[in-house]
Amino acid sequence: MNCEVCHLKELEVEHFEIREVLRCILHTIVFHRALGLVRPKDIDLELFEITYVQCGDVEVEKKIDEKIEQFISWVEKHPNKKSQICLSFYEVKNKQQSWFTNKIERLYWEQWYVNLNVIQLPKAHSSKSHHSKVVVDPGESTSEERSIRRAALEASLRDVLFQIIKFVNEKKDHVPPISEGVVYFPYEITLPSSSDSAFGMDMIKRMLQTGHPTMLS
């Protein structure tokens, strides 16, 4: 079973927008992969005029929120960096215990990469995003600029959601069969590592993942 990978469109977000954007994207993905009996829960974003759907599971909500908080704290330590959050769905395969590992094998059959570019406008912080092409100057912090940015982000977020829907529609064969009593497929959310060269490490990790199911922290 091949692992389908979907790289979502990069979003340029401000620090305070991370939580809502990530919740929206991650819950939408999980909802599409919670194929058990669900009672969908509509959530209206506060910052944007977008309504996304949660699968309604409390555990899912808790886990996602935890990861988001970890990511935010990571972003605070590594400001102005492009970051990536990986949402992976796997199947649990019992593997015979080998001599070096007793782990339960995970067979990833789908991975979603959420690409964020967290920018910081020069209000409290004077640092500028070297990845961002936007020149940081006091003019950007005007409310008009902010609203323009907000509108652009909303459109981009909508595009990302459409991207998810299209991907879910196009790729269905790789989805494992639904187990009785299981609401959602097991998943994990991977945050960038704390290393400086997070992008490179992610690439290496991705290379290691394919064909080699390993436990990722």
Partner 1 sequence: MASSHSNVHSEAAKMEQIITEFHTKSLHIILESRSPYVSSRNFSGEQILSSPSSSCSSSSSVRPRDKWFNLALRECPAALENLDLWRQSNLEPMVIDVILVQRPVNWDTVNVSPKRELVRNLSSKGRYPFCWGFDQEEIGCEGKSEKIVERWVVKYESRKVRDCSSGSRRSSNNTLSNVYKKSILLLRSLYATVRILPAYKIFRDLNSSGQICTFSLAHRVSSFVEPFTRKEEAEFQRFGFTPVDTSCGRLCISVLYRSSLSDVNSEPSTPITPQVIPDYVGSPLADPLKRLPSFPISHGSPSSLPFSRRHSWSYDHYKASPPSVSFSPSPTYSEPLVSISSPRSRCYPPMSLPPHPPETSLVHKKDTGFDEYCPSPNFTPSASPSPPIYIPGGHLSKGLLRTESAPFSIPAAKLSSNKQNLFPSSPIKIARSGTSKTEKSLGPIQNGATIEKLLSLGKDDSRRYSGVKLSGNSSPQISFSRSSSRSFQDDFDDEFPCPFDVEDIVPNSRLESFDQKGLLSDPHDPGGFFPIRKSQDAAVGALVCMLKKAPPLRQDLSSTTNLSEVSRPESWSNNILEPRRISEVPSGQNAPSLSVLSSSLLSSKTTADALEELQSYKEMKNLLLSQGGRSHASANYPSPAEPSSRGSNA
Residues that bind partner 1 (CB under 8 A): 28, 31-32, 35-42, 44, 49-53, 55-58, 158, 161-162, 164-165, 168-170, 172-173, 175, 177-178, 183
In angstroms, what is the minimal distance from the CB of 111 to partner 1?
17
**Between residues 79 and 176, which has the closer beta carbon with respect to partner 1?**
176
d(CA 60, CA 126): 37
Minimum CB separation from partner 1 for residue 102, in Å?
Answer: 30
Question: Minimum distance between the CB of residue 53 and partner 1, rounded to whole angstroms?
Answer: 5
Phi-psi region of 118 (alpha: psi -120 to 50; beta: other; left: phi over 0): beta
Q: Which residues contact 110 (CB under 8 A, 6 or more apart)?
A: 3, 4, 5, 6, 33, 88, 89, 171, 174, 175
Tell me the residue length of the chain.
217
CB of 187 to partner 1, least distance (A): 15
Residue 71 or 167 having the CB closest to partner 1: 167
Q: Which amino acid is at 40?
A: P
Instruction: CB nearer to partner 1: give 163 or 193.
Output: 163
Distance CA 118, CA 83 (A): 8
Strand partners, 116: 11, 83
DSSP bridge partners of 93: 105
Query: Among residues 82 and 171, whose Cβ is nearest to partner 1?
Result: 171
Nearer to partner 1, 50 or 72 (CB): 50
Q: Can you tell me the distance from the alpha carbon of 70 to that of 14, in angstroms, rounded to the nearest whole number? A: 16
